[in-house]
Amino acid sequence: MNAGGSERLALVSIVMWFAATSARPFGIWISLGGTAVALGVAIWVLDRTAMASLLRPSLKLVLLGLTAGGAMTVATYLLYPVLSRMLPVIVADTERLYAAFRVTSPLIAFVALFPVIFSEEMVWRGVVQNAISHRFGAQNRVRVQVIIALVTLIYALVHAPLGSPVLFAAALGCGLVWSTLRAVTGSLIPSLVAHLVWNGLVLVWLPLDAAR
């Protein structure tokens, strides 16, 4: 796919993601999860060569993703009690988020996470980050850090319609790590693995509200 086509695909993906997070009556799994998978399939069909290159695995990339995902998870468990004591509203917002995710069983949620996250990485760290890098990095020599920050900010902003400060903050923090991994390695494997580890543990296996 040429640069113009990549940019159009990125723009369509951003608009559709924003529409999905705005469709709150349909729930997170149906609106956001369904949109993510649909976009992932479309991206694979339209830009298979680029995605296949970004998704070529190696032991080093997988280990990097596992390390990053593990570090993110540990940081989350350490920071959450501290922040929730400082800002009690975080607890209520976190509980609302978990309630939205728990409309389905933990087993189904755990299985569904893979296609959703796989697609999400192709959308954000794949198509969107590629398009922004090509547009600004190649033409205007914008520093890599600025490109990472821009992708992260857009990623967080499209989740704002869900009305959750915790989710917005998580999208900023996690998005920053995942976009950095993508920029540094030139691969989607580390961000994909880190994303799977963090979501699988924090959202499903060892939720933050388990002790409450």
Are 117 and 199 in contact, with CB atoms under 8 Å apart? yes
Q: Show contacts of 7-14: CB within 8 Å, 24+ apart.
A: 7/131, 7/134, 7/135, 9/42, 9/43, 9/46, 9/47, 9/127, 9/131, 10/127, 10/128, 10/130, 10/131, 10/132, 11/131, 13/39, 13/43, 13/123, 13/127, 13/128, 14/128, 14/154, 14/158
Q: How many domains does the chain have?
A: 1
Q: What is the pLDDT of residues 19-70, one digit of tens each?
A: 999 986 556 777 888 999 999 999 999 999 999 999 999 999 999 999 999 9
| Separation of alpha carbons 135 and 110, rounded Å | 36
Return contacts of 148-156, CB within 8 angstroms, 24+ apart: 148/176, 148/179, 148/180, 148/183, 149/176, 151/124, 151/125, 151/175, 151/179, 152/176, 152/179, 154/14, 154/128, 155/124, 155/128, 155/179
User: Looking at residue 141, what is its pLDDT?
Assistant: 59
The reply to whether 212 falls in a domain is no
**Tens-place pLDDT, residues 141-169:** 568 899 999 999 999 999 999 999 999 99
Tokens at 158, concatenated: 């499209």
Q: Residues of 171-182 as b/e, b for ≥16 C-beta within 10 angstroms?
A: bbbbbbbbbbbb
Tell me the residue type at 16. Answer: M
Residues 157 and 106 sit within 8 Å (Cβ to Cβ)? no
Sign of the torsion formed by the C-alpha atoms of 170, 117, 209 and 71: negative
Specify the pLDDT at position 26: 59
**In-domain check, residue 60:** yes
Name the residue range of residue 176's domain: 3-205
pLDDT in tens, 66-101: 999 999 999 999 999 999 999 999 999 999 999 888
Q: Is residue 210 part of a domain?
A: no
Q: Is the torsion defined by CA of 156, 161, 167, 169 positive or negative?
A: positive
